[in-house]
Structure 1
Amino acid sequence: MAFDSQERAKAYWDKNVKLMISLLIVWFVVSFGCGILFVEQLNQIQIGGYKLGFWFAQQGSIYTFLGIIFYYAWKMRQLDREFNVDE
């Protein structure tokens, strides 16, 4: 029974790490990629009179980060229920 518990704990942790890594990749692409690397291409598009590259550097990465926080909380709640560790 203890081995099963360790297996479940490892599976839970593996899914948690996979989720964190994928969200960190999204965060990196949006903040560094859209705000710095792809800024020239994104500046060809305008939203509300502002260039999209500028918008991502100033606002978009912040909004994306907030979205990632809420998405992580939602997915972790599902993961906690799946592994019966929710409160």
Structure 2
Amino acid sequence: MIYKDKKLYWKKNLTYLSILLFIWLLVSFGAGILWADALNQFRLAGFPLGFWFAHQGSIYVFVILIFVYVFLMNRLDKEFEVDEI
């Protein structure tokens, strides 16, 4: 991989990271704290939705985002031919 490709690879990698971390911020801070009162009008498994996001939902979203990141990085590695066997 030439130098220009390395820059593009890392630019895409950082773009993926930024987007995924922003989603996590929205879910964990937004849904769990900022919008908790509005979300508490709804219930999930018997618990107010804002409470659920603050205690469990953001963790589930974080784990899902890890799998999304792995998928995106595997695809990016293949695109730039730096993938493992």
Partner residue in 2 for 1:44: 41
Q: Which amino acid aligns with 2:42?
A: I
Partner residue in 2 for 1:61: 58
* Deviation of 1:49 (Å): 1.2
Distance (Å, rounded) in 1 between the aligned partners of 2:30 and 2:44? 18
Q: Which amino acid aligns with 2:51?
A: F
Q: Which 5+ residue runs of structure 1 have no aligned equivalent? A: none
Distance (Å, rounded) in 1 between the aligned partners of 2:82 and 2:45? 45
Identity %: 50
Superposition CA RMSD, Å: 0.9
* Structure with the greater alpha carbon radius of gyration: 1
Distance (Å, rounded) in 2 between the aligned partners of 1:31 and 1:59? 10
TM-score, L = length of structure 2 = 0.96
Say yes or no: does 1:75 pair with 2:77.
Answer: no
Runs of 4+ in 1 over 6 A off after TM superposition: none
Q: Which 5+ residue runs of structure 2 have no aligned equivalent? A: none
Match of residue 2, structure 2, among 1, 5, 8 = 5
Match of residue 29, structure 1, among 26, 40, 47 = 26
* Deviation of 1:47 (Å): 1.2
Give the number of aligned pairs.
Answer: 84
Say yes or no: does 1:18 pair with 2:15.
Answer: yes
